[in-house]
Structures are given as structure tokens and as C-alpha cells.
Amino acid sequence: MTLSNPKQYYSRFLKGHEGKLHFAAHSHHFWPDVTRDAQIAYWDDCAALSDEKWGKIFSETIPKTQKHIAKILNLKDHEQIVLAPNTHELSTRLLSLFLGKKDLKILTTTNEFHSWRRQFLRLSEIPEIKIHQVNSNNVPQDRATFLNEMKSELAKNYDVVFLSQVFFDSGAALTDEEIQYLVEATPASTLFVLDGYHGFAAIPCDLAKLEGRIFYLGGGYKYAQGGEGIGFMVVPKGQWRPAYTGWYADHAHLSQAPGSQVGYSDNGMAFMGATQDPSGFYRFNAVWDLFDTEKMNVTNIHQYVLGLQKTFLKHLPASFLKAWSLKPLYSPELSWHGHFLTFEAPSIEIAEKCQQTLSSHHILIDRRGTRLRFGFGLYQNEADVSELTGRLTKLA
């Protein structure tokens, strides 16, 4: 089976990090070697086609990217997937649907990714916007309380609900059933937005039952392994008219005389913006073409990563955790958890010192405030995990 040696696909990034143990796959996954050829193929298309390249990109490259995303999420309608340089752009475009509305009500959680946390904090300065955050700090230990609180809030007719599929600061992941439970508790008039960035292409996710009901955001620079420049949003069918709009939102009608009405595509493209570097789509397509050929999919990739996580936890020295007073934050239900394991330090200073000490011993992880994150991916194998726990034992 190919997954017996997935490191073979990452020779260039591995060479770039020789001697280092890169356990931050959740932050920046290594790119397979095929992405380099894809980047060059993009350049060659630019040289061969100049302006005409956009014809190829819109008719071949983008549909291929959409189809790969649809396959990963088990969606039927790839045309409802819109692409952008990042998810922040798409989520702000989504919010612009409400521009001018009085009394906008948003429901979210206390543990959303920085862009949203900042955005909500800033929006809450506007008197007409009301934002309620359900406490999700304890999701790793007690998901029932969180789900109940979300459910009772959801009944209150919010305009938008925004929450993570996998929380970025713990790795705790909602299951497809839990997401469905929350969606069913949501009035049809509320837009339901799931930030899937830490779930997409990491944990198996089947959105078929929710297709046409929820917005789902994800992107390329983590587990999808295509690097920066690919954000996407799955959009329910509808006549969407975001106020923040660019010329790609009605690309198909560009050659017609401009009317007095602003036209929009009748699919996900209605949320598209303007000119962007499309090389990320080439890289993403190359990765998932390769994985298709090699019969690699999110289910067997997840099993592989889960195996690495289990080995890590089995050999993780208690002395290391004790030395830095680290508290594990993952739930015992590892089989449904993000691809990183989080440990909480008693203070930012201790967390920082711990990360620096690991880095000086060539162990690369990342940190969010007091939380240290160890991320696992296809470019590591069991021997690397043993090397990691060995070095942690010596360090402790």
C-alpha cells in the first residue's frame, strides 16, 4: 500500500528541513514534490498564453479544483464552490450580504480563529451589531454542555451562526452528527457557516446531508497541501448578492454591455472577488491528482496520522510534561480529533520558553498563547515520532 511510505512524496521539503523534526503540519503542511512541477506548469501557461490563460484557468483549472474539493467533502454540485485567495475574504464577503441591515445578530463561540475573533470584536463596536459567543473552552472535556448551549441559543433567530468544525486552539473536532444536530436546531432563515479549515482534508467529512444548507470554509495551506492562495467556500444555492463584490462574480457575462443592475453568477461564483494569483489552484490540483492516482484519500490519510498520534502518546515521557507543567487538552476520543495535539502551559512565558527550548533542539512545533501544538502529517513516519519522543525524554 502506498501509505506505507508517504514520505517519498516530500523529498524537497524534507531536504529543506534536514536534521529538524517538523511537527507543525497543522500550521504549515509540507508540500509534495509535484507542487513544484505544478508551479512551473503555471508559469509555462502564462508564457504560452498570456491573457488567454484565464480561459484555460476558468474552464479547466478552477473546475478541477472545485471537483477535488467536492469529492473530499462528498458534495454533488462542484459549481457551488467559490475560490478566493483566503477564507477571510470569503467570510467578509458573506457578511457584506447584511450591509445596511439594522440589528444584525451573530452567534459564534469563544474559540474562533484570530481573523474572526478580531472581526467580531471590531464589529461589536457598532451598536447595531449584536454578537453572542457561546463558551467553547471546555469542548475537549465536555462537549455535551457546549452542544446544549449552542442549541438553545440557535433557537433565538440569529442572522448568522459561525463556528469551527475543529477548534484551532485545542484540536477538538465536531463530528458530522454533532454538526447536523446543530444545523437542525437552526431556523432556516439563519445562515449557518462552518469554518472547516482544520478539518478539511484532515478528518473525513461527509457534507452530503448538509449540501445546500450550510456555508463551509476551508483552504489549501494546511492539510490540503497546496500552499497559500486557495481559500474556498461551499455555498448553498440561491440568488446571492454580496455588497462587497468584484468583477469575477459575474465573469461569464463580461462581454455583455454593462447594465444598471449589478449581475451575479447564479452559482457559488457570486461570491468571487477579483484578480488573484491562481498558481495555488495548480498546486492543489497536482496534489489531489497524485493522491487519486495513488489511492490516497482523507480516510486513509487520517488513519495514518492517527497511528502517528497514538505512537506519540504511547511514548510521550510524563517527565517532559511534568518539567514544563503541561496539561494535555485533547479528548480521549482521539479517533475524532484534529491532526494536532495541544498542551497548555501555566503561563505564556513558560510556553514560549518551552517552544524555544524545543526549537534549539531542532524540534519545530507551534504555539497559540499558552498552548503548544504538536502537528502530525504524511511527511513523518513512526521512526520520526520515536526520534521525537526520544529527544523529549532526553530534554526532560
Which residues are near ligand PLP by CB under 6 A? 86-88, 113, 115, 164, 168, 195, 197-198, 219, 231
Closer CB to ligand PLP, residue 204 or residue 227? 227
Closer CB to ligand PLP, residue 42 or residue 197? 197
**CA 108/CA 117 separation, integer angstroms:** 9
| Cα end-to-end distance, the chain, whole Å | 37
DSSP 275: -
How many residues in the chain?
396
Closer CB to ligand PLP, residue 219 or residue 226? 219
Closer CB to ligand PLP, residue 59 or residue 275? 275
Phi-psi region of 238 (alpha: psi -120 to 50; beta: other; left: phi over 0): left
Closer CB to ligand PLP, residue 26 or residue 296? 26
CB of 201 to ligand PLP, least distance (A): 13
CB of 245 to ligand PLP, least distance (A): 18
CB of 186 to ligand PLP, least distance (A): 20
Q: What are the two backbone dihedrals, phi and then psi, of residue 227, each rounded to the nearest 5 degrees?
A: 85, -170
The rounded Cα 187 to chain-centroid distance in angstroms is 26
CB of 159 to ligand PLP, least distance (A): 21
Closer CB to ligand PLP, residue 6 or residue 219? 219
Closer CB to ligand PLP, residue 2 or residue 115? 115
Q: Give every CB contact of residue 259 below 8 A, 6+ residues apart in sequence.
A: none
Closer CB to ligand PLP, residue 23 or residue 324? 23
Q: Kindly tell me the sign of the dihedral angle through the C-alpha atoms of 268, 269, 270, 272.
A: positive
Distances (CA, A) of 368 to 3, 37, 345, 372: 31, 34, 11, 6
CB of 361 to ligand PLP, least distance (A): 25
Q: Kindly tell me the sign of the dihedral angle through the C-alpha atoms of 24, 27, 32, 35.
A: negative
What secondary structure does DSSP assign to 156-212, as a single string?
Answer: T--SEEEEESB-TTT-BB--HHHHHHHHHTS-TTSEEEEE-TTTTTTS----GGGTT
Cell of 319: 517527565
Q: Select from 120, 133, 139, 173 the least CA-distant residue to 339.
A: 173
Cell of 33: 514534490
**CA 7/CA 277 separation, integer angstroms:** 28
CB of 292 to ligand PLP, least distance (A): 24
Closer CB to ligand PLP, residue 168 or residue 216? 168
CB of 163 to ligand PLP, least distance (A): 10
CB of 273 to ligand PLP, least distance (A): 13
Burial string for 36-71 (b: 16+ CB within 10 Å, else e) reads eebbebbeebeeeeeeebbeebeeebbebbbbbbbe
Closer CB to ligand PLP, residue 284 or residue 320? 284
Q: Kindly tell me the sign of the dihedral angle through the C-alpha atoms of 253, 259, 265, 266.
A: negative
CB of 68 to ligand PLP, least distance (A): 17
CB of 220 to ligand PLP, least distance (A): 9
